[in-house]
Chain A
């Protein structure tokens, strides 16, 4: 069993709700074990606060195994903290040193308003998917799964784009708060598969329109999104989306 010996200073964003202003608040923590996850360290902080009669810090989290995409802390200026390809819930305290000061903020983007403390509203992502991030096939319509062979490399590429967990780190890290990486990952997944072809150009136009309507910024090719994505989603997806978008607008018969 591990014993905790790390002392930390946390600067945590506290904000009562979407209508009030927030501020960073300092907390001292001791006895933290390097084997704890970052969120377990927050559990310790919250237990302390409750025992002192204060309100615990609200943060989004659920699976704590890096796949649901719900955790969303901006740690020392980076979404999901200092390690590459890791979500906040999978970040462990062995990535920090005794005596460290850690600044923890919510995702910052106009399209992701703060709900409370470190929790933000990412429903804009759902609305982008609802605008076209699907293949229109009702239950019961499907043919045999092996009737349409898909080259392995193409299927693997679709899978890599589909690995996006919708956490929003790409938006949080982008200076323009652009959602291009998220939107292009879904567009790519479906554009790479034969099943996605019938709606390919319609899809890219409606999803881009919804993305703009939600107030996400544009892409200026900085590449921060790719660098910070915990699932390694590639910038190539953005290129593919732009290509499809241009084709749809200028060459497709179905310009929306």
Chain B
């Protein structure tokens, strides 16, 4: 039985959002002017919300830790953004996007939220194009689409391999417009360190000015966190170096439930680790799987150059195991299949932890089409490859250049080596249908919340969700709360709750700086990452998770007694910033293991070795685990489980099959 209320409106799934949107209480324009909203984070979910709320007339303050809101890590998203436009006339619809997303998430997402996401997906594309976002077009002048994993339609809009960059710069320009008009106050190089609660409601934040070290108090009638995912708990991930869980974790410690923390997405196509010095991993977009074929040699420890291995000695294992979806199976399935081959001894490269992503067949095919366009009949292979390379260059040039730059190898001549890496976190702060956390007045949007992707996110759905939340959902749903707050005057920041929250934040900073131990912050972060990757990564077991929990607790104790942070707290101090974030990652890591241990089933990105089918596929337990695990923080780093049952009234729950 659910013991938390998701506040999903009654009624038919297809009309629920439209009806609700039309009946949410409104705040009149003159009242909006005196209502202040704090937005933490300036990525797709934060910037879009900040711009839209300011356009609506609210007073907005927006915070980011980078030097400009344009740096937020949404910018690095490569492949694309989904929308149920059906421009390709291939049978797409709101329902099909909804269905694919629920199935892709392995039946662990909320129907009502996902349907709403699919509904507003089309508005996002319209909005972005109107802002001047240069999405890819065809010669007829209309928008182009491509395929992504887990779907059989072409619904992904893109801008070369820089879709996230272009969408973020669109949201950023909308945000800067409001800043220029004086309707948003922007605080760059500021990090949120505490949520301030008054009478149980979120009423502001404590932030640190990262340049001066000054601790600041900021009031808001409501607080929105659009602070991204927590993949950096693994140390090595595709996230930016600064991506962190701190804002969400501080909110968690103030009463916001943290949902499904163990649902992490391991992306199948990343550049493999090259050495111990590695600081981050780089993604090769899922869009490459449109044209690349994934394989390993059929022979173990085959040390020949990939180009010397003949066709019949290659194992295209995704095409072999999943003929219907082939190389376009969802990410969790593709990642596990790569791990399975490498574990069995078929991996390639010096580390043997890599598989090939090969473009030759499709390059040749493109070359043949180009040759025929130019009237060349029976072209030889060299001509095909030359012409085809031009086509591939136009589609993925920046990704190929990036690969060459990082590995020193030419991917036009030899297949890419790829391996799975931590990429996205489906878990996050629990939110209701209004995107409000379990703390009244505290909202959470984008990757930072848990709401739409279940146990596995489909490619090109993160950009969709971030912008859906910020442009089209939160600006409506926040009215349900703020309409009741119109009589609340701005609370002065000398209120005891602000002073107390500031003391908490300062206390942690002082404690960290005064440990004066012997090991750097990175030392602890790397060790945490190894524990998480080995025992709470692509596959998990009861035994491993129990060990991990003990190891993380020991690591936490060691961190708090032996971390070394040079410098002081009243200046720009990047080690102090990192230390605060790693301290929170250590606590989160423990909760992730606890959650993974609690979930005695395999679903999506969460794979428990004890629960698999004979063919090695994830084995769900719908009878006992069709629920959202929402954890409440308790004194002394303890956690209490609350459950939100997932009801599927519009989709028949089935074993997920991509065969």
Contacts and interface: CB of A to CB of B under 8 A. Distances in A.
Contacts of B180: 127, 130-132
Given A115-B211, A149-B140, A159 B159 contact: yes
Given A62-B73, A195-B130, A123 B68 contact: yes
B126 interface: yes
Contacts of B351: 1
B275 A54 contact: no
B69 A126 contact: yes
Interface in B500-530: 520, 522
B381 to A, nearest CB: 30
Interface residues of A, number: 84
A106 interface: no
A62 B240 contact: yes
A36 B277 CA distance: 7
Contact of A126 (B68, B405, B520): B68
Interface string B574-595: 1100000000000000000000
Residue in B143, B179, B280 whose Cβ sees the most chain A Cβ within 10 Å: B280
A150 B176 CA distance: 26
B71 A56 contact: no
B188 A85 contact: no
A151 B141 contact: yes
Contact of A58 (B69, B70, B132, B574): B574
A156 B136 CA distance: 7
A150 B137 CA distance: 8
A156 B131 CA distance: 16
Interface in B549-602: 564, 566-567, 571-572, 574-575
A94 interface: yes
B55 A138 contact: yes
B134 A189 contact: yes
B572 A65 contact: no
Contact of A159 (B73, B138, B160, B567): B160
B223 to A, nearest CB: 21
Given A62-B66, A126-B68, A130-B177, A139 B127 contact: yes
A156 B596 CA distance: 46
Nearest to A120: B67
B360 interface: no
Contact of B169 (A39, A58, A145, A162): A162
Contacts of B188: 123, 126
A150 B165 CA distance: 20
B132 A190 contact: yes
B131 A195 contact: yes
Given A50-B575, A135-B130, A90 B402 contact: yes
B278 interface: yes
B488 interface: no
Contacts of B138: 152
A214 interface: no
A39 B240 CA distance: 13
A166 B69 CA distance: 11
A40 B282 CA distance: 14
> Interface residue tally of chain B, by bracket?
35 or more
Contact of B129 (A121, A132, A142): A142
Contacts of B282: 64-65
B67 A122 contact: yes
A137 B131 contact: yes
A47 interface: yes
B575 A143 contact: no
A155 interface: yes
B35 interface: no
A133 interface: yes
Contact of B126 (A35, A143, A158, A166): A143
A255 interface: no
Interface stretch (A67-75, A221-229, A237-245): A67-75
Contacts of A136: 177
B184 to A, nearest CB: 10
Interface in A98-149: 115-116, 119, 121-123, 125-127, 129-146, 148-149
B471 A139 contact: yes
A86 interface: yes
A47 B126 CA distance: 48
B129 to A, nearest CB: 4
A144 B126 contact: yes
Nearest to A34: B408
Interface of A: 1-4, 16-17, 33, 35-37, 39-40, 43-44, 47, 49-51, 53-56, 58, 60-70, 85-86, 90, 92, 94, 115-116, 119, 121-123, 125-127, 129-146, 148-152, 155-156, 158-159, 162-163, 165-166, 189-190, 193, 195-196
19 contacts: A49-B566, A53-B564, A62-B71, A68-B70, A69-B71, A92-B408, A116-B211, A121-B67, A123-B67, A130-B179, A138-B52, A139-B475, A140-B472, A142-B126, A148-B129, A150-B141, A155-B137, A189-B134, A190-B132
